[in-house]
Chains A and B, each alone.
Chain A
Amino acid sequence: MSVSAGSNRTKYSRALTSAVRAVVPFVIALVIGGTVLLATGHNPVEFYQLLVREAFGGTDRIAATLSAATPLLFTGLATAIAFRAGVFNVGVEGGFVFGGLIAATVALHAGLLAGMVAGALAGVLVSALPGWLKARWNVDEVVTTLMFNFVVSGVTGWLVTTFLQAKGVANSATTLIPQGSWLPDLLPPYGLTAGVLVALALVLLYALWIKHSVLGYELRQTGLNPRFSAAQGIRVGRVIIVSMLVSGAIAGLGGAAHALGVVHRFVDGFSPGYGFTGIAVALLGRNSAVGVTLGAVLFGALASAGTTAQLFSDIPLDIVDVLSGTVMIFAVVRLWRQR
C-alpha cells in the first residue's frame, strides 16, 4: 500500500528517513522523561548530562555500557530476525530466561561449551511450538509467544526452587558455576565478557545472511508479503519455522552468555525484561544489523548509566523503563503520513 511510492526515492533520502525515524522516538522519550523529571523537582538537563558521562566517560564506563548492551544485542537480534520474516515474536524473554537456566545447569556439570549449546537449544525449545503452530495452523503467534513467557517464568521459577536449587542457599538460585566454565572477561576489572564478541559475530552473520543468502532473501520476501512469496514458490511455512527457531536459539544463547558470563548461576528474576527491551531495540533499529547494534548500545548505555546515576543523584533507575517503553511506543507510531 505505502511501499510503491518508494521507487523514485534516492538511496540517500531513504537512509535519511530511516535515521530520522530512529532518532525521533528517542527524542520524544527524552522529552517525556524530562517532563517527569521536571515535575518531580529534578533538573533533566543535568541528569541527561550525568547519563552521558556515566555511559561513555572513560574506558571503564564504556566497558560497563557494552556489558549492559550485550544481552540486548542478543534479544534485539533474536526479535529482529523473526520480525524480518513477518513473525511477531514477543517471546524472546522466555527463550532468554530458559536458556539461562539450562545453560547454568549444564555448564555446572559439562563445562562452558556444552552450557552455551544447551542454552541455545533451550531457546529453540521455547520458540519451536509457537513457530510450528503459526506455520501449520496460522495460530496467532503474538499471543502464544507472549503466553509462553509466563509459562517459562513459572516453570523456571519452579525448577529453581526444587530440583535445581543450590543447597544451603536461601534464595532461589542454582549452584555457582566453577570459574573454569565462565565466559572469559575481556577487560578483567570491568566485567565485559566474551559474550559481547559472540553477540557481535552473530549480528555480522545476520547482516551477511539476510543480504546474501537464498534463505535470507526468502525471509525478507515472506516478511514483506507472505501471499506473494507463496505464489513465487517460497515455502512460507518453512521460512516462518526457521526464523522462529533461529530467533529462539539466539535468545537462548543470550541467556547462556548472561548466565555464564555475568551472573555465573541462574537466579529467579534473572532478566529484568531484556526480552522486552529487545523488542524496543529491534523496532528502533528497524530490524537491520547496524540498527540493532546501535539500539542495543543506546539502551545498554541507558541501563548502565542509570544504575550509577542512581548512586550520585536521588533519581531512581525506574526512569529508564519510562524511556525505553516510550521509545517502543513511538517507534511504531506513524507521526507523519506515509505516501
Chain B
Amino acid sequence: MITGLLTSALLLWTPLALAAMGGLLHRVGGVVNIGLEGQMLVGALIGALVSGATGNWALGVLAAAAAGGAVGLLMSLCVTRLGANEIIAGLGFTIVLSGLIGYLLRSVFDVSGTLRVPGLDPLPRVLGLDPLFLLAVVLVPVVAWSLRNTAAGLRLRATGDGFDAATALGIPANGIRDIAGTVAGTLAGIAGSHLVLGQVGLFNEDMVAGRGFIALAAFYFGRARPLPTALACLLFAVFDATQARLQTSGVPAQLIQTLPYLVVIAVLTATAVRDARGESRRAG
C-alpha cells in the first residue's frame, strides 16, 4: 500500500518538478510564468506524435522540448519586447494553445478530445523509474548549484532582483529573460511529454488538468528556491496520489485538489505580512 502510493507519487512528481524548475528559473529572472499549462499541453501532443511517428521515445521527448521551448520564447518575446503584461500573455497563450490543439484534434485527426497514437514508444523503465524522473532528480541540485555558483546564475538573479540596475550594468536583461522563458518552456514541454510517454500512453486535451498551475503553486510555495520547490512538488504529488486512492472511500477528491491553491494563497499572505512587518520595523 505505502510502496504503491510512493511509486505513483514519484510518477506524478516528475512532470510537476520539471515544469516547476522551469517556472522557478523564469521567476528568478523576474517573470511569473502563467503559460506553463499551455506549454505542457503542447509538449504532450508533440511528444505523442513524434514518439509515434519515429517509434523512438527519446526523439519524442526532444521534439516536445523543442516545441515547448519555441512557445516559451514566443511568449517571452511578447513580454520583454512588446511590453505585454506577463499574466495576460500567459493566460492568453494557454487559451490559444488549448483552443488550437482542440481544433487540430477535431479538424485534422478527426477525434474528439482523445488521440491514440499508433506505434507510440513509451519511456523505458529501469527498476520502475524512467529517464525523465532521473532528469528531474538531477536537475534540482544542478539548478540550485548553478544559480549560486555560475556567472549565468548570477546574471539571472541580477536581472530578477533589479531589472534597471542590471541593464545599467550592461547585463542584457531582456535577452536573459528570453533565455529563461525559453528554458521554462522547454522544461514544461518535457514535463508534458512525460504525461503521455511516461504515464498515460495516449493524448487527451484535458490531460494537463491544471498541473501547470500546480507547478506555479510549487515554486511560489518553495519561494523560488530549487530544493523547497521540488519538495513542494512532492507534497502535491502525494496529495494527488492519495486522493486517487481515497476516492473510493468517500473522501472528497475535489476538496483535496484545492489544497495546493490554498497553500499558495497562504504562502503569499505570510510572505507579504512578513515583508510589511519588516518594513514598518525598519521605518520605525
Contact = CB atoms under 8 A, between A and B. Distances in A.
Interface of A: 36, 40, 42, 88, 90, 129, 133, 137-140, 142-144, 146-148, 150-151, 154-155, 157-158, 161-162, 273, 276, 279-280, 283, 314-316, 318-322, 324-326, 328-329, 331-335
A334 B83 contact: yes
B200 interface: no
Interface of B: 32, 34, 78, 82-85, 87-89, 91-104, 106-108, 210, 213, 216-217, 220, 252, 254-255, 257-258, 261-262, 264-265, 268-269, 272-273, 275-276
A318 B104 CA distance: 9
Contacts of A283: 88
Given A90-B91, A322-B96, A155 B254 contact: yes
B129 to A, nearest CB: 30
Contacts of B96: 321-322, 325-326, 329
A325 to B, nearest CB: 3
A315 B78 contact: no
7 contacts: A139-B268, A143-B216, A143-B220, A147-B264, A151-B261, A154-B261, A155-B255
A100 to B, nearest CB: 16
Given A139-B269, A161-B254, A333-B83, 4 more contacts: A90-B87, A137-B273, A158-B252, A324-B99
A328 B257 contact: no
Contact of A147 (B103, B104, B265): B265
A179 B98 CA distance: 37
Contacts, number: 143
A276 B272 contact: no
Given A133-B272, A158-B252, A161-B254, A40 B107 contact: yes
B269 A155 contact: no
A137 B272 contact: yes
Contacts of B107: 40, 42, 314-316
Contacts of B108: 40
A161 B250 CA distance: 12
B95 A316 contact: no
Nearest to A331: B88
B103 A150 contact: no
Contacts of B273: 137
Contacts of A155: 254-255, 258
Contact of B103 (A129, A143, A318, A324): A318
Nearest to A268: B254
Nearest to A29: B96
A329 B93 contact: yes
Contact of A150 (B92, B95, B261, B275): B261
Contact of B93 (A158, A314, A325): A325
Contacts of A157: 254
A88 B87 CA distance: 9
A262 to B, nearest CB: 22
Given A158-B254, A333-B83, A328 B103 contact: no
Contacts of B217: 147
Given A137-B273, A139-B268, A144-B268, A325 B252 contact: no
